[in-house]
Chains A and B, each alone.
Chain A
Amino acid sequence: DAKTTQPPSMDCAEGRAANLPCNHSTISGNEYVYWYRQIHSQGPQYIIHGLKNNETNEMASLIITEDRKSSTLILPHATLRDTAVYYCIVRGRNSGGSYIPTFGRGTSLIVHP
């Protein structure tokens, strides 16, 4: 269902930008790209979503390629508290026209001092 590919792990220096890639080559035209993160032993937290245009909020930026086959989540100034597993979700179970997210294993981001 969730046909996304993410690297299993990445690391980043504190204060630098963290760029987390996601491939979703089978995405269809009306499917959103969602990003969530999960800090150890907590519930996942919604970060951002987008359809075609790049998006930015107080947490992160989402860059979606023009062909929509891949995207990058950018944490502009990573802090130690950004250490978490990051999930890129494109497709899940279709129920009455609403997609229910299916979570893969995500990318484990470690931010080091």
Chain B
Amino acid sequence: TQLLEQSPQFLSIQEGENLTVYCNSSSVFSSLQWYRQEPGEGPVLLVTVVTGGEVKKLKRLTFQFGDARKDSSLHITAAQPGDTGLYLCAAQGTYKYIFGTGTRLKVLA
């Protein structure tokens, strides 16, 4: 069974702090996606990483795909209240997308 474990599960930080969210698996994936979900809405794609070791930046968000394509991280620099939400990693399994356990981030003003 392919699983994606995320850590931490919950994170509450002050505005301006930095944070890192991790997504780990024992399986190798050809690509991995990060989504953000706000209350009452569906997950929205942030980024896709494809190549082992790849780093992608999206404003204050930095995404990295592990060299072995089994894990990924999301780093947020100088977090803002607008970053609050549920962050999900996901990867294509056989005939389905597998989602991580999620990291619920709250950024306090």
A and B pair up: no
Interface positions of B (Cβ within 8 A of A): none
Interface positions of A (Cβ within 8 A of B): none
